[in-house]
Amino acid sequence: MSPGTDRAGEGVGRGRDGLFVAAMGILGGLYVALLVATMAADVFYTTPGHLWRALKSPEIRHAVRLSLLSCTLTTLLSLWVAVPIGYLMTRHRFRGRALVDSLLDIPIVLPPLVIGLSLLILFQWPPLRALERVFPVTYAVPSVVLAQFMVACAFAVRTLRATFEAMDPRPEQVAWTLGCSRAEAFWRVVLPSARRGIVTAATMAWARALGEFGPILVFSGATRMRTEVLPTTVFLELSVGNLEAAVAVSLLMVVAAVAVLMLIRARGSAITLGRFA
């Protein structure tokens, strides 16, 4: 085969590769354009006046405060549970591990309304109904935290499991040979090495809790000045036809979501980078 034929074949191959890359770029670009368009629609629909009037509303200010409080508590609870689960699932093999792994994914794949309904039914169980006479949960602030926790913790578990799987177990094993117990090696070696993953899990859990709506609506209700958080505020404002306030609150949530994503990128995602400082 002559050199000219080889160059012609290479040119055809490069042309086909270019068409393939262009087609992939167009398909992906359409989705990116849709995302940008939806964000731009919120920005250009509302005005600073709409946003200011929304923030002056006592109901919306209460929703902002409750959202910040509940999301923070949910994040702390999620980390308290997700760190040991993620560690055990990656460092230990036990009977029923596959079943446990599947159960941990249930809050991610279940429809949110089903999670809220399941919590509501659970608290009809006589022992929990007796508990509620002393410590009300259903349709109260604790139900907001519990509804957020059910979903956010699953995302934190997945993040921390990926974190511990990416870590080299040898430093921990060396600590054992030097006389450290499992607990000492975990606190002195594993946990400091996993801090990037912990930050990522915390921000993911916080962001997921902020956007949770279905379980809260069913299990907590949408009572003004009581169990109202930002997603239910959007629902309530839409239900009374106040579109401007709903869009203003939505924009606040968009800003919070973007801030969380920027924090994850700035700190370095443990999942995508696969390294720990």
Q: Does residue 273 register a pLDDT over 50?
A: no
> For 48-273, which CATH class?
mainly alpha
Residue 19 has pLDDT above 70, yes or no: yes
pLDDT value at position 192? 87
Note the helical H segments in the chain: 3-45, 48-56, 58-91, 97-104, 106-109, 112-122, 126-134, 141-166, 170-177, 182-185, 191-193, 195-210, 214-219, 230-239, 243-267, 270-273
Q: Strand, helix or coil at 94? A: coil
Q: What does the CA dihedral 217, 223, 229, 232 come to, rounded to 10 degrees?
A: 50
Token pair 């139900």 is found at 143
Residue 74: per-residue pLDDT? 95
Of 208 and 257, the one with more pLDDT:
208
Structure-block tokens of residue 193: 């090495």
Residue-wise pLDDT for 180-220, tens only, equals 888 888 888 888 888 888 988 998 899 899 989 989 999 99
Average pLDDT for the chain: 84
- Residue 236: pLDDT over 60: yes
Percentage of residues in the chain with pLDDT exceeding 70?
90
Q: What percent of the chain has pLDDT over 90?
A: 29
Between 263 and 212, residue with greater pLDDT: 212
Higher pLDDT, 241 or 158: 158
Reported pTM: 0.82
**Residue 106 amino acid letter:** I
- Rounded Cα distance, 38 and 32, in Å: 10
Which segment of 16-20, 72-76, 132-136 scores lowest on mean pLDDT? Answer: 16-20
Average of per-residue pLDDT across 116-131: 90
Confidence (pLDDT) at 119: 93
